[in-house]
C-alpha cells in the first residue's frame, strides 16, 4: 500500500506541479481497517485550480490508479471543500477524524463541519440506504449467494452510518467496526451477530456455506430497522 501511494504521489506531482496542494488518504485504510481483497484506497486531491485544463493534466495518473482497481481521486479546491461541508457533513467529518496526509499541509483542523446538518444527513442516509436495501431484496433471486452479496455490498455503508449515528447522539464511537455495531445495536435493543457474520465473511474469516443466508438477512435487516427508527426518535426528542 505504501509503495502504491508513493507512486501515485509522484505521478500526481509530475502532472500537476505547483497546482497540487495536498493528497489525502481517507476511508478504511486511514482508519487502519484496510483489507487487500475488498478495501479501496480512497484519495482526495486538493488543487489550487480545478478547471477542465487542470483535470486533463491529471488524466494519465487517474487512469493508472483506476487500473490498479481503485476509484479515481476526488478533486476539490480548498474553497470548494469548505463550501461543501453543509452537504457532505458525514464524509468530511470522516475525513477530518481519520486521514493520512500523503502530500501537503494538513488543513483539516481549519475545516468546520456543521453538526446540526450532520445530524440531518445521518437520519436521511440511514433511511435512504434502508429503503434501497429493501428494494434490492424485493428484486433479488432467493439464492443464498445473492442474499449474502446484498449484505456484503451494504455492510460498510451501514457501519459508517452507525458510527455517525453514535456521533450525532453525542457519543464517542469506538474505532473498530464490530465495536461500533455492538454499541449501536445495544441502544437499539437488537442483536449484532448478523453484522458480525457478514463482516467475518467479508474479511475471509468464514465461508459462505457456514452462514444461513436467509436467517442472517432477516436479523441484518431488523438491526437496520431498529437503529434507524431509534436514531430518528432520539434525535427528534433532542430538538
Task: Specify the CATH number for the domain of residue 103.
Answer: 3.30.460.10
Is the confidence at residue 65, as pLDDT, over 90? yes
Output 214 or 203, whichever has higher pLDDT.
214
Q: Name residue, grid cell 487500473.
A: 67
Is residue 119 located within the same domain as residue 79? Answer: no
Please spell the DSSP secondary structure of 40-68, one letter per residue: --EEEEEES--SHHHHHHTHHHHHHHHHT
Domain boundary among 44, 76, 110: 110
What's the pLDDT score for residue 38? 62
Pair (103, 177) in one structural domain: no
38/83 same-domain check: yes
Give residue 9's pLDDT. Answer: 96
Separation between Cα atoms, residue 234 and residue 139, nearest integer Å = 32
- Reply yes or no on whether the pLDDT at 34 is more than 70: no
Containing structural domain, residue 136: 115-238
Q: Whole-angstrom Cα distance, residue 226 to residue 237?
A: 16
d(CA 214, CA 141): 12
Given a cut of 90, is residue 236 above it in pLDDT? no
pLDDT higher than threshold 80 for residue 218:
yes
pLDDT band at 31 (very low <50, low <70, confident <90, very high): confident
Q: Which of 72, 90, 110 is the last residue of a domain?
A: 110
Same domain, 77 and 182: no
Mean pLDDT of 159-180: 93
- Predicted local distance difference test score (pLDDT) of residue 30: 83
pLDDT, position 28: 80
Mark whether 78 and 177 lie in a shared domain. no
Paired residues of 24 in beta bridges:
44, 101
pLDDT > 70: what percent of the chain? 97
Q: What is the predicted pLDDT for the residue at 239?
A: 62
Based on the domain organization, do 187 and 122 belong to the same domain?
yes
* Domain C-terminal end among 110, 129, 154: 110
What is residue 27's predicted lDDT score, i.e. its pLDDT?
A: 85
Residues 10 and 65 reside in one and the same domain: yes
pLDDT for the residue numbered 124: 95
150 and 46 together in one domain? no
- Same domain for 142 and 219, yes or no, is yes
Same domain, 141 and 230: yes
Confidence check: pLDDT of 165 > 80: yes
Q: What residue has cell string 480545478?
A: 50
Q: Is the pLDDT of residue 237 over 80?
A: no
Query: Residue range 153-171: average pLDDT?
Result: 94
What is the tally of structural domains in the chain?
Answer: 2
pLDDT at 110 over 80: yes
Residues 99 and 6 in one domain: yes
Cβ contact 32:39 at 8 Å: no
User: Do 123 and 172 reside in the same domain of the chain?
Assistant: yes
User: Is residue 217 a contact partner of residue 151, using CB atoms and an 8 Å limit?
Assistant: yes
Average pLDDT over the chain reads 92
Return phi, psi of residue 74, to 5°: -85, 135
Amino acid at each position: 500500500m505504501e509503495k502504491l501511494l508513493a507512486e501515485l504521489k509522484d505521478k500526481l506531482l509530475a502532472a500537476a506541479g505547483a497546482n497540487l496542494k495536498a493528497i489525502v488518504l481517507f476511508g478504511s485504510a486511514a482508519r487502519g481497517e484496510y483489507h487487500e481483497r475488498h478495501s479501496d484506497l480512497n484519495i482526495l486531491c486538493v488543487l489550487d485550480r480545478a478547471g477542465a485544463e487542470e483535470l486533463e493534466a491529471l488524466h494519465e495518473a487517474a487512469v493508472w490508479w483506476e487500473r490498479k482497481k481503485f476509484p479515481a481521486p476526488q478533486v476539490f479546491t480548498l474553497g470548494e471543500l469548505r463550501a461543501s461541508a453543509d452537504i457532505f457533513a458525514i464524509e468530511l467529518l470522516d475525513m477530518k477524524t481519520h486521514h493520512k496526509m500523503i502530500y501537503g499541509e494538513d488543513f483539516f483542523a481549519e475545516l468546520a463541519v456543521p453538526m446540526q446538518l450532520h445530524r440531518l444527513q445521518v437520519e436521511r442516509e440511514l433511511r435512504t440506504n434502508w429503503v434501497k436495501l429493501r428494494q434490492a431484496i424485493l428484486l433479488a433471486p432467493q439464492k443464498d449467494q445473492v442474499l449474502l452479496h446484498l449484505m456484503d455490498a451494504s455492510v460498510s455503508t451501514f457501519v459508517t452510518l452507525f458510527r455517525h449515528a453514535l456521533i450525532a447522539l453525542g457519543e464517542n464511537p469506538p474505532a473498530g467496526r464490530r465495536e461500533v455495531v455492538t454499541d449501536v445495536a445495544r441502544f437499539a435493543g437488537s442483536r449484532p451477530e448478523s453484522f458480525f457474520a457478514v463482516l467475518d465473511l467479508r474479511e475471509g474469516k468464514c465461508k459462505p456455506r457456514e452462514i444461513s443466508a436467509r436467517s442472517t438477512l432477516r436479523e441484518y435487516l431488523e438491526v437496520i430497522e431498529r437503529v434507524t427508527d431509534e436514531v430518528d426518535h432520539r434525535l427528534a426528542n433532542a430538538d
